[in-house]
Chains A and B, each alone.
Chain A
Amino acid sequence: MLGIDTPGIDRRSLRFLGLFVAGMVSLGVLFECLPVLFQQLYMSPVAHLSTSLLQAMSVDAVLDTGHLGDGFCELAVSRILYRITFDCTGIFAILAFTSLTLAYPATVRQRASGLAVGLPAIFVFSVLRITVLGLIANLEPAWIELFHVYVMELATLGFMLFTWMYWLGQVRRA
């Protein structure tokens, strides 16, 4: 095994990488084969909860789930229509967190507890992500591109890794 200060790769790292890639591919295939599952269990609740939060903050937000079967919802904020796709809902973070957790050398119980804590946390973050985008759309529509493409995208990835590293700490403590 080479030291960690050089770009060396040991067998355990390669095994982890293989499992991570296999997990991402499997979840990607599952996502492509069963889009309805992800639409009903993920996109729809994220979109509904975000809209409720926006309405609770007195934002003029109306959600149309008529196109859910086509893979998107329409959120009207202050009469401007925004299309919520899976990309907007941070589904990548859900799949990546699941793959990272399952690929990591830990017991089944530890992995299960990681998923039980991490996935709801990322779900809540995704609701906040759409809510923040809705608020930006309401307050400063010119910033929506920056927030949608860059800020919230990186924030979601950062939060996902934050959650995963917290779980790594729990594995150590156990």
Chain B
Amino acid sequence: MLERALLRAPLVFLLRFAAVAGVLYLFRADVSAFYLSLVTAPANWLLGGDGGVAYTRQGHELSLVYRQLGLRFTVHDIIYQNLLVALALFAATQAHWMWKLQWGGVAILTLWASHVVSLFLGGHVIVWDFLWSLPTDVRADLLPRVAERFPMERDWLFSRLFGLWHTWGRQSLALAVWALAALPLLRRLSGADTQETAK
């Protein structure tokens, strides 16, 4: 049976989390457009910075343009959901506003760095996936030029790891930063500090 007294704190957290997530959704389009510009610039710099290969943005749609080969890959409709998840988690946690601000900043910085790296590596996966879908003779022709620009060749492990990162990793990272920050607060909730001191 559920105990009503134990439900209060989790329920308050859940309601606050839902409210913040709802508010963030209203601003999602604006946040997404602004955030994309913060992510694509450093990712383009990592890709060479000469404009030969670059991410370009039209509204919320992101494309990888490979000018040398005349290719354009539409990435996807970016939302960066784990950023909103992290913001909602920190905003919903009952803590001092300074704590939220500082840890929220740590979370945003960590997630931003992960987004830049995943965008940079994602470019490799997209281009190599495309290359391997071409007929052998065409691929052999393009391979030296592509390898020059994208040295990290696609292989099973890389694609697999990248897939796992997209499926599990991104959400886990947001959750991990929040859990790390909130653990002292949660230990108070569970009395674990008291138990460990008693031992």
The one of A7, A96, A158 in contact with B181, judged by C-beta atoms closer than 8 angstroms, is A7
Residues of B within 8 A of A (CB): 2-3, 5-7, 9-11, 13-14, 17-18, 21, 25, 28, 79, 81, 84-85, 88-89, 95-96, 98-99, 102-103, 105-106, 160, 164, 167-168, 171-172, 175-176, 179-181, 183-187, 189-192, 195-196
A158 to B192, CA, bound (A): 23
Instruction: Report the interface size for chain A: residues with CB under 8 A from the other chain.
Output: 44
**Beta-carbon contact of A168 and B190 below 8 Å:** yes
Contact B79–A166 (Cβ < 8 Å): no
Cβ-neighbour of B189 out of A5, A6, A86, A172 (below 8 A): A172
Assembly CA distance A100 to B95 (angstroms): 20
Question: Is A13's CB under 8 angstroms from B183's CB?
Answer: yes
Question: When chains A and B are docked, how far (Å) is the Cα of A104 from the Cα of B192?
Answer: 9
Residues of the B chain whose Cβ atoms lie less than 8 Å from the Cβ of A141 = none
Subset of 8 A-B contacts with CB under 8 Å:
A6-B99, A12-B196, A87-B167, A105-B187, A150-B28, A161-B14, A161-B17, A166-B2
Enumerate chain A interface residues (CB-CB to B < 8 A).
4-7, 9-10, 12-14, 16-17, 20-21, 24, 28, 32, 86-87, 92, 95-96, 100, 104-106, 149-150, 153-155, 157-159, 161-163, 165-166, 168-173
CB of B190 within 8 A of CB of A13, answer no
CA distance A14 to B46 in the complex (A): 31
* Contact A162 B190, CB 8 Å, known A5-B99, A92-B168: no
Q: Is the CB of A165 within 8 A of B10?
A: yes
Contact A157 B176 (CB under 8 A): no
Say how far B154's CB is from chain A's closest CB, in angstroms: 18
Docked-complex contact A170 and B81, CB < 8 angstroms: no
When distances are taken between beta carbons in the complex, the residues of chain A under 8 Å from B5 are 169
A104 to B189, CA, bound (A): 13
Chain B CB count within 10 A is highest, among A28, A169, A171, for A169
* Cα–Cα, bound, A105→B2 (Å): 22
Contacts of B79 in A (CB 8 A): 149-150
Complex Cα distance, B183 from A157, in Å, reads 17
Given A4-B99, A5-B99, A158 contacting B180 (CB threshold 8 A): no
Chain B residues with CB under 8 Å of A32's CB are 160, 164
Q: B81 to A153, Cβ gap below 8 A?
A: yes
Q: How far is the CB of B110 from chain A (nearest CB, A)?
A: 11
Complex Cα gap A157–B82 (Å) = 11
Q: Report Cα–Cα, A149/B179, bound state, in Å.
A: 23
Within the complex, the shortest CB–CB distance from A165 to chain B, in Å, comes to 4
Q: Contact at A171–B81, with CB atoms within 8 Å?
A: no
Find chain B residues with CB under 8 A from A149 CB: 79, 81
B44 to chain A, nearest CB (A): 26
Q: Provide the residues of chain A in CB contact with B175, threshold 8 Å.
A: 96, 100, 157
Query: Assuming the A-B contacts A10-B184, A171-B190, A172-B191, are A154 and B21 also in contact, with contact meaning beta carbons closer than 8 angstroms in the complex?
Result: yes
Among B13, B168, B171, B176, the residue within 8 A (CB) of A162 is B13
Cβ contact of B85, chosen from A10, A16, A154, A162, cutoff 8 A: A154
A20 vs chain B, min Cβ distance (A):
6
The 6 residue pairs across chains A and B that have the minimum distance between CB atoms:
A169-B6, A172-B191, A165-B10, A168-B190, A171-B190, A162-B14
